[in-house]
Structure 1
């Protein structure tokens, strides 16, 4: 009983932290949009595009790129830690529950891409823009969930987290295959060796940060140098971290790191990324073009409609065929709300817009991503609030 109360208290603490992080994230997005479209917009773009860092390591990056490739890796590391913990000792430790978010994520990538291709067929740039709506933003989605659905079972949040991590890994794989212009084999070998050494140190129960911090930095630099998006280093390190405590050990390394780093991720890393990613020029003319031009319209429909149909459809099919089972305590209406929340594309979708298209087209598709994310957030929030009240009455 005491252990159950402690676990409930721990989850509540984490949820409160995440709610705060969600509010900070939304505030940073609003500040970015207001700043970029204010008389001080040139200052915003000058700060975002200012370069710093050593050139010899291919790290002379803009402030925006440091936020995107560097700070966001911390968020993906925390997400990887939690996903590993759930896979080994939590809700996803049973195969039929673990496989559902994977199947849902695949549906949530394939269907939006097909819808985007269908809507934008024949439009210049659609051969690369189809990839923009394949991603779900983990931070924004979890922030909306935390703000609106505190009474939903924890399994619903874990389903969304797992789906979004798999989704973003798939999107990063798309980036690596479609948008990587060169691949550095030496850097890849260094990254593999660094990851293997990290795993070995975890296996040998080494605990000193004086080894792990430099090793994590080497891994990040090596992955960045390969040409693959550097945030994958964070996920890989998280998944290699030990999640079962030894006898006499108060906490496993994964839980200890999660406690220490999650507030920094939620309150600093993700909001700073949002501050420099969401600052696009918004005008009545630009907004009108989103709904009248094929390319941004394909992205918008792909995110709002494609994500919902793909995630929910794949989930229903997997459960009905007996391949997977629903998360504990979560109904189909809950999953429908979560599927709609999958249309929040923000982080990786904005990244793919930058990689896939030229400046003018990229600005339009970025606007489409923000509008689609807003529509998905508001619609799913309305559904989640209803489900939250239903679960509160049931309790």
Structure 2
């Protein structure tokens, strides 16, 4: 039978409307709630770690993850779990945040932090704070009690006082170990560096270094994701340098549609690559899994730029990911079954 133009058109329309039989990914809720944290990434090798030091790190990571887990298990909000978990790490001299913050070139401590909630994309951050005991608590106050996202230096400290947060003498952040690290780097500067190279003073710190930034991401029983990050920045930093930790989209990002991310590493590269947001964007616009998106950003995009470090993340289904391109990362996780996992080294 000869087909008229009308039937030919109908035939092609029907072909074009043929149902897509390709297998579509099926997402299942893996955990009703979950929490992950990091205490920094870098050249963390077992041969350089004493049994006593390794135990100290693991004990503090366990204390921190159990703090957040207990809040989530009891039906608490992810924002509370993230803040309280990070505060445990801020109060420990083991990590480059709060009490354990590294020193600047001018022998001071300048602290940065940020927090973001995925249900409303609200965020708060602080940079260059010198006298606030808990920078992550201040970041939360900026988010909830101010019209701004990022406050810095003296203004951030003034706001902290108005909010009733604990103010400490800058000497609170002094630790002998961090001060000796600064002195060691300055000695290397005198003998090894060409000061015409604007990035040279970073290189001394980066080689065989540890990025001790701390961070936490949590998914609560209500489906809300919160991410937070806190740091002392980079040893020997100058000119009031600010890294990625207080930059939303670089060091911290949360979106209930996709995931929450906290970063640790060489901040300049994380800012340039917008690491935290890129992972979320790949999930939203390319339908990538959290695992694949994180791997692409850290192992390819960041690495190709020359950046080092890693991320922790949780997606809206409770999947947890740790992705880093360094020898190790202090990290811990807990799922809704109460299973806790604590690791330091890459393998």
TM-score, length basis structure 1: 0.24
Higher helix share: 1
Structure with more of its chain in strand, by fraction: 2
Q: Identify which of structures 1 and 2 has the higher relative contact order when contacts are C-alpha pairs closer than 8 Å and 6+ apart.
A: 1
Larger Rg: 2
